Amino acid sequence: MNNDILIINSTILPLSHKEAELIEKGFISITDGAISALGPMTDLPDSSKASKTIDARGHLAMPGLVNTHAHAPMSLFRGLADDLPLMTWLNEHIFPAEAKSVNREMVYWCSKLAAAEMILAGTTTVADGYFLEDSVAEAFTDCGIRSVVAQGVIDFPAPGVPDPAQNVASASQFIDSWQGRNELIIPAVFCHSPYTCSPETLKKAKEMARQKNAKLFVHLAETKFEVEQMREQHGTTPVRYLDSIGILDNDTVCIHCVWLDEEEIEILAKSGAKVSTCPQSNMKLGSGIAPLQEMLSAGISIGLGTDGCASNNTLDLFSEMDLCAKLHKVRDLDPTALPAEIVLEMATLGGARVLGLEKDIGSLEPGKKADVVLLDVNQPHLQPFYHPDLLVYAASGADVSTVIIDGKIVMQDRQILTQDINETMKKVRKLADCF
């Protein structure tokens, strides 16, 4: 049996419903970008050969992590404006910084920096939303990271779209230019929020997305202020508002969803809309705590996101998992609330489900895309390894040693192979000189 890559002697955590238990000493065969076989070493045929064999002794193989919400170019603004409420942060710091710095060069290089950070921390798929998203897609293509890239839509002059009347048309052109162009890139549309997009813009964007079978992402019910603002402007709450104008369906991803009542949770569940939760960003901006357990109980698909590193300030989903699990125990004063296994699924198969990619990624199974990360578990803080819960409560992105995306090794032994990271950091530092 000839394989492109053969991983041997690894502990394997498939995270599939068919294979929920650890394989203590196993192999993974990768052929033509997909997993062709996996199992215990005793099942590996003696005739198996590969162009590349990785002896992963002392490592754990698991599915690549799925970040369901990020703004990659905003890596330029990491630490630029901290300890501020959302609207002050946006209106007095981030929007002016974007007006001063955002261009195609900035978007490209800062997206490469974000891709490097995510790959180093075991993220193999990211849903990104920003302006000049063509340059994000180009950067992610060059870095070899799988992505759902969504062109930003907002009712103000924006980078690349100086005339707001062209915002949806620009997103439509973006989707047309990337659909089917690269199997790692899935184009989508990102309507910033109900308070920055008119009902006409939201409806027009959603109709366009439906015609093109594309996802629509939208920030929703992030702050108490947003809820109050929507009541004043539209006489209802953000979720009810989007439902009333026909925005919510299976291909809508609602980001944050912090301020929801029971009826709104039911509205989301019945609509089939998905949710991306970003607990660290919500905490840092003082936005609140999303009712994850209530949404999960209602059957809503939820994925984990980092948000942009201007409001986080990292893109490490391992730290996001740890914080997410603990935050909800504190909220409910219940140590059994939001168990680690649920949070781990939110960052893998659950995240894939939010993006409509669960048939291709999110677990290690024959036939699925070979998005695999190897963690060095031979570390003091990861021993003894009794249970995968330790990945949530003790592991970090720094424990990831090797990353395979679509059957290609993009990082090995902590060395990124798809870009010169020193060049990228130098470029971004130079871009930061404008502040």
Portion of the chain with pLDDT greater than 90, in percent: 94
Query: How far apart (Å, rounded) are the C-alpha atoms in residues 185 and 141?
Result: 7
Superfamily of domain 65-354 in CATH is Metal-dependent hydrolases (3.20.20.140)
Q: Residue 18's pLDDT is what?
A: 53
Q: Residue 2's pLDDT is what?
A: 61
Q: Residue 428's pLDDT is what?
A: 98
Q: What is the DSSP string of 159-184?
A: TTB-SGGGHHHHHHHHHHHHTTT-TT
Q: Which two tokens stand for residue 116?
A: 């490097």
Query: How far apart (Å, rounded) are the C-alpha atoms in residues 111 and 66?
Result: 17
Q: Residue 20's pLDDT is what?
A: 56
CATH architecture of 2-62+370-415: Roll (2.30)
310 close to 94: Cβ distance less than 8 angstroms: yes
State in Å, rounded, how far the first CA of the chain is from the last one: 56
Q: What confidence tens digit (pLDDT) does each residue in 148-202 have?
A: 999 999 999 999 999 999 999 999 999 999 999 999 999 999 999 999 999 999 9
Q: Which two tokens stand for residue 394?
A: 């003790």
Q: Residue 47's pLDDT is what?
A: 80
Q: Residue 48's pLDDT is what?
A: 83
Question: pLDDT below 70 — which residues of the chain?
Answer: 1-2, 18-20
CA distances from 342 to 258, 293, 351, 352 (A): 19, 10, 11, 14
Helix residue spans in 279-411 (DSSP H): 279-284, 292-297, 317-332, 340-346, 349-354, 389-393
Q: Residue 1's pLDDT is what?
A: 53
Whether residue 73 has a cis bond before it, omega within 30° of 0: no
Show me where the domains of the chain are located.
2-62+370-415, 65-354
Q: Residue 127's pLDDT is what?
A: 98
